[in-house]
Amino acid sequence: MNCQDSDTGWLLRVRNLTKIYGEPIATSVQYTGPRFNSNICPETDAIVACAEINFDLYPGEVLGIVGESGSGKSTLIQLLYFDQVATAGEVYLSALDEAQTNLLTLSNQRKRHARNTLMGMVYQNPRDGLNFGFSAGGNIAEKLLMAGSFHVGRIRERAAYLLGKTEVPVARMDHTPSTFSGGMQQRVQISKAIANNPPLLFLDEVTSGLDVSVQARVLDLIRQLQRELGVSMIVVSHDLAVIRMLTDRTMVMKNGRIVESGLTDQILQDPQHAYTQLLVSSLL
Ligand code: ADP
Ligand code: MG
């Protein structure tokens, strides 16, 4: 697939993205997936966490990925954020080398730079996204430093601004996240993720560990920031209520594959795949 084959205007283009944990063989992809109701290669026990993943994401668009636990949602965004190394595939960002370079082939140094300047990630578990040995401000400063900001005063000012923006009391800037509530920890992660104004954000089950009332407030904040910043987002959740609230378009995953995709409203109103119908019926 040449990245310039078809329509333009996209921010992120993903082609044939695949991740296999363990020993793959030539038929691992062929003999796994929804048809077999399994992501485990019958010959080698390798796990085909995701395969044959194709989609484009447009500027300002919010794309949801929904599916049951183990369907490959986290792996998919971890591949894009370079937390995991892909087994195969092509990924292009319009903001990098004018979309001429497959991101998966970048040197580690260039991957780090791309991840720090063009992307942000908010993890389900705040300990995956924050260093609990640093203060809240220190965690944000880390992301700013990685993108080349070195002026201490300006870094502190920006960290305070971001904490305010995500409704974390600025007076808590020098406290460590371990002294924060779960909702506040997620807000600090969001501050860090948007610190360098990246065009692309990944959110992985960011409200799953929170009380329902806190969940609603964090979801509101995400929606508000998305509108204000115009950032593109990929929102991973097993919860269709979260997907309904945040996303424009949705991909449904099962056994490491996309089984259905379309406008979120359409998927909720008229799900085509039996598995999606089951998910939607559980929402009612
Ligand atoms: P989801 O986020 O949808 O729950 P994951 O992407 O976490 O799914 O997992 C997809 C599949 O890959 C699961 O079968 C899971 O057990 C497996 N998996 C995830 N991470 C690893 C890993 N680091 N090593 C081996 N298998 C993994
Ligand atoms: Mg997950």
Q: What is the per-residue pLDDT across 230-274, written as a single tens digit (0 to 9) for each?
A: 999 999 999 999 999 999 999 999 999 999 999 999 999 999 999
Q: Answer whether residue 4 shows pLDDT above 70.
A: no
Q: What is the DSSP letter of 23?
A: -
CB 167 within 8 A of CB 187: yes
Compute the distance between CA of residue 79 and CA of residue 17 in angstroms, rounded to an integer. Answer: 9
Answer whether 70 contacts ligand 1 (Cβ < 6 A).
yes
Q: Greater confidence, 234 or 284?
A: 234
**Average pLDDT for residues 88-100, to the nearest whole number?**
95
Ligand 1 atom nearest to CA at 22:
25
**Average pLDDT for residues 27-44, to the nearest whole number?**
95
- Per-residue burial over 224-262, b = 16 or more CB atoms within 10 Å of its CB, e = otherwise: ebbeebebbbbbbbbbbebbbbbbebbbbbbbbbbbbbb
Q: Answer whether residue 3 shows pLDDT above 60.
A: no
CB 264 within 8 A of CB 244: yes
Q: Answer whether residue 284 shows pLDDT above 80.
A: no
Q: What are the pLDDT digits (tens) for 111-164?
A: 999 999 999 999 999 999 999 999 999 999 999 999 998 899 999 999 999 999
Q: Answer whether residue 2 shows pLDDT above 50.
A: no
**Average pLDDT for residues 56-68, to the nearest whole number?**
97
Confidence of residue 90 (pLDDT cuts 50, 70, 90): very high
The residue nearest atom 13 of ligand 1, judged by CA position, is 70
Answer whether 39 contacts ligand 1 (Cβ < 6 A).
yes
What is residue 6's predicted lDDT score, i.e. its pLDDT? 62
Residue among 66, 75, 84, 206 whose CB has most ligand 1 atoms within 8 A, to mutate: 75
What is residue 96's predicted lDDT score, i.e. its pLDDT? 94
Q: What is the DSSP letter of 22?
A: S
What is the residue-averaged pLDDT of the chain? 95
Answer whether 67 contacts ligand 1 (Cβ < 6 A).
yes
The CB density around residue 171, as the number of other CB atoms within 10 Å, is 9
Ligand 1 atom nearest to CA at 67:
3
Q: What are the pLDDT digits (tens) for 203-216?
A: 999 999 999 999 99
